């Protein structure tokens, strides 16, 4: 989940993801055409997106075809819609753990 938010924390990456979503199967070079940064930086950004599972790719010949994967976003979205401002699913469990660890720290 950290990786998804981290990947989305860059406008450049969000735009790249947007582009790929609108041009499914486009190549790394295609993406690079739309941005001012170097091809290597494009690849690094795409790698960050892939690490967050927001990007799926396959190699076809000498090209790499890129595809947007909505699943991680859907996951976060679902958590947010469940209980609007209380936005992560593990909330209750985490709080329980926190309360337990608090007792340990407060009463050593």
Partner DNA sequence: TCCATAGGTAACAATAAGGTTACATATATG
Partner DNA sequence: CATATATGTAACCTTATTGTTACCTATGGA
Minimum Å distance from CB 59 to a second copy?
24
In angstroms, the Cα distances linking 102 to 74, 96, 98, 99 are 33, 10, 6, 5
Tell me which residue of 74, 41, 56, 51 sits closest to 4, measured CA to CA.
Answer: 51
Judged by CB, which is closer to a second copy: 36, or 59? Answer: 36
What does 18-34 look like in DSSP terms, one character per residue? Answer: HHHHHSTTB-HHHHHHT
For residues 8 to 27, the per-residue mask of contacts with DNA, x marking binding by CB under 7 A and - elsewhere, is: --x-x--------------x
Q: Is 99 in the site for DNA (CB under 7 A)?
A: no
Name the residues that contact DNA, by CB under 7 A: 6, 10, 12, 27-30, 32, 37-41, 43-45, 48, 59-64
């Amino acid at each position: 989940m950290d990786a998804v938010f981290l990947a989305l924390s860059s406008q450049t990456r969000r735009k790249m993801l947007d582009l790929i979503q609108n041009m499914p199967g486009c190549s790394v070079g295609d993406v690079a055409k739309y941005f001012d940064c170097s091809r290597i930086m494009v690849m690094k950004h795409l790698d960050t997106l892939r690490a967050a599972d927001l990007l799926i790719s396959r190699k076809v010949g000498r090209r790499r075809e890129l595809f947007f994967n909505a699943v991680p976003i859907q996951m976060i979205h679902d958590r947010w819609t469940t209980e609007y401002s209380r936005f992560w699913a593990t909330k209750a469990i985490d709080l329980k753990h926190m309360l337990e660890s608090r007792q340990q720290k407060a009463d050593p």
